[in-house]
Structure 1
């Protein structure tokens, strides 16, 4: 996973060491040597994550972090504080300032890379929800969601998986300070059952269980739709970085080291609960605003109006961040024959199923829209031409491989699609040009015999 990482430290060797490590892992690294320079770069370069030294002259890392969090344009950027300070009070101060984690020098590579990747994944998802809410706001039907730090962290429902009675009692008492409703379990099976039957705001999982593997529950929670977005906080023994890295890769959001410091536990829990509630507010605003105005009433996917508003903003972000955005334009082959042979009601059934198959085979932050008739568009953020070609071929195959069940006497019919690809993200690109190039590639796919994928020449070069 590639990302733009801002490394901030007033000591040049420290900057060079971190930059070299991250570059070897294929991250794009930019650097700053003091707080004001860092804030200026954040505003100009829009990094995906900030690695921030604490002890800097003038403006220290705590103040920099607080300024990042107080700015609505940057408050969602993950911040990892990297410092020689190792006292728990310093960690808590950093977390309360808005930091997502606190790594002690010399930085362990396993912890560093796992944390960066985990937080970048979170930011990608948050970026898409923020952009979609912003697009929806253009139509004047919602109010903005406000600040992440303004979200309440109290009165949450928290599930704890822990088989140590002493540790469970300490963690539960700590969380109850914020008036949380605390549920507990001593087995993965029981905890999963509770999670699937209860609306949770946070799950705390011990990785020091005597007879079970807490990572199993972590994996199970991420595999179920109902619990996929519930934040997970791991409790681990000091030095057990391999389990931490694995847990973050599986989708855990944060971790705390045993023996548990009460203030640190509260700070980390508050961060996760606030983030979940902020994300839920974004999603709720977005879904409410689009349910009527911006979705296609037949298929339930977006309509042309939404694409016309959203794609220019997405392309602008792609140009600013130097990350490509790809467009797939596709339509149903010989759709007129379907309508003429079986009637428009069967044609509507086919349109709905094509939309459903397209949506099921894309990432959660990709976008599917019906432009009209049998013509659809898929927008793929942060996707180059090579990856877009793989997605398009998979989509074409998933539609063609299984006949469509229909209400007509024949019972089922075969359906195929033709797909054209374009890629944007260069200075001067426009949404209209991106759509036009994808449409031209789609026309070429139909000329070549249909049921195939054709990439615009520029997409092939960039892929």
Structure 2
């Protein structure tokens, strides 16, 4: 995986050394000699990752990281602090400033590239979500202010899991388990999973792999607990998709800082996914009735006709019109008319199969698509809808009589060689016949043609 990495260090020898290591792995490398230059290059060149020294003249690495994370254009760039400092307070300070990890000089190449590749995989996913968000919405990106969350702590045995969970204080709520099957079953209910992979009696890596491979928990962040000198397990955990690692002995402050980072990141990604789902739904749904819109219905009808032409299943369609709908709007007002449309749509959907497609075609006109149905079955479905609508009046404004609503429908089955216009023209002709013959009825285009 290649990417653009910005190396920030006030000592040129250190920069050159990291550049050589990264270039050998086919990374593109940018260099900055201080925090101010880092901020400028991050804005202008949008690196995929920043390796940031802590001890620098001017603004140090902590302040540089804070400024990077405060800027919308650079806040999503992963930052790894590379420093000679290895005190608990320095690690926590860096994590709270927004750093994704700490690497201690002299930097171990295996640890460096494992961490870099892990963060780049994460950034690739986040960049895709942010890109789709920008393409579909003009709304600002969401913030993720969450500080606490629900954490599942998994250990080799119950006492060990309980001790690890006890390290997490408020605002976290932690549940400790020692059975990997139970952990995999419960994982989807939590914001973060912490797995002790340091115990040889417990295959924590297998649990991590299982959680990552399950679609329901694939996005759950995982924090792995490793032994400080067990480089092999740390690298394997990151390669399996673990989001972060923490080494024993565990410091409660560092554990909380890393947990906050992962939960905040998950909340941000979940919000982007939810908004993307909403925007995708808005693109195919009618906002008033909740049915599909005209464009989506026509695209699905085209697909069904293509399938028929290739020797697939039959398909039928119905065009439906609410009888005298203008009279409802004129008599009761548009708000009541909208309420009738919503109620009408709900009754319509209650009479259809899961595979049937209902869409608002425009105004008070609707289209039903019946995949795999011949005209007789489509007629029966349209008749069920007609009866359900006519069976019970719709509510009217207070003090007014309930509104009796009926519909007229025309049904047509696709013939070999039909395109969308051909099929809908026959259904529309049948609909016209239904309205001309007194309304509140369903007419078969095939019967009319005969």
TM-score class, shorter: 0.5 to 0.7
- Residue 85, structure 1, aligned to residue 96, structure 2: no
Corresponding position of 2:247:
257
For the residues of structure 1 that align with 2:250 and 2:285, how far apart are their CA atoms?
48
Query: 1:191 pairs with 183, 192, 216, which one?
Result: 183
Q: Would you say the 8 A contact 1:23–1:29 is kept in 2?
A: yes
**1:338 aligned to 300, 306, 309, which one?**
309
Look up the SS of the partner of 1:59 in the other structure.
coil
Q: What residue is the counterpart of 2:235 in the other structure?
A: 245
How big is each residue's C-alpha offset from its partner over 1:53-83, in whole Å with a ceiling of 9 and x where there is no partner?
A: 0001011100110001101121111000001
**What is the match of residue 157 of structure 1?**
150
Match of 1:444 in 2: none
Task: State the distance in 2 between where 1:70 and 1:246 align.
Answer: 32
Aligned residues of 2:196 and 2:204 also touching (Cα < 8 A) = yes
Deviation of 1:343 after TM superposition, in Å, equals 4.8
**Cα distance in 1, alignment partners of residues 218 and 95 from structure 2:** 24
* Partner SS, residue 51 of structure 1: strand
Question: Residue 140 of structure 2 is aligned with which of 122, 139, 144?
Answer: 144
Instruction: State the match for 2:270 in structure 1.
Output: 280
Deviating above 6 A after TM superposition, structure 1's stretches of 4 or more consecutive aligned residues are: none
Q: TM-score, normalised by structure 1?
A: 0.62
CA distance in 1, matches of 2:312, 2:235: 57
Query: Which of 1 and 2 has greater Rg?
Result: 2
Q: Residue 209 of structure 2 corresponds to which residue in structure 1? A: 219
Q: Deviations over 1:113-144 (max 9, x none)?
A: 01111101111111111111122223xxxx43
Residues 251-270 of structure 1: per-residue CA shift (max 9 Å, x gap): 10001111100100000000
2:361 counterpart residue number: none
Q: Secondary structure at the match of 1:226?
A: coil
- Structure 2-normalised TM-score? 0.64
Task: For residue 290 of structure 1, report the CA deviation from its aligned partner.
Answer: 2.3
Q: Secondary structure at the match of 2:175?
A: strand
Partner secondary structure for residue 72 of structure 1: coil
| Structure 1, unaligned runs of 5 or more | 305-330, 347-405, 410-463
Q: d(CA) in 1 for partners of 2:173 and 2:112?
A: 33
1:23 deviates by 1.1
Does the Cα contact within 8 Å between 2:53 and 2:61 map onto a contact in 1?
Answer: yes
Q: 1:356: which partner in 2? A: none
In structure 2, the CA distance between the partners of 1:341 and 1:19, relative to structure 1 (3 Å rule), is: closer
1:74: which partner in 2?
Answer: 74
User: Taking structure 1 as reference, are residues 92 and 132 closer, same or farther at Cα in structure 2, changes over 3 Å only?
Assistant: same
Q: Show the counterpart of 1:126.
A: 126
* Superposition CA RMSD, Å: 3.0
Q: Across the two proteins, how many residue pairs are aligned to each other?
A: 313
1:266 to 256, 268, 289: 256
1:108 aligns with 2:123: no
**Structure with bigger RCO (C-alpha 8 Å, 6+ apart):** 1
Q: Tell me the residue number matched to 1:168.
A: 161
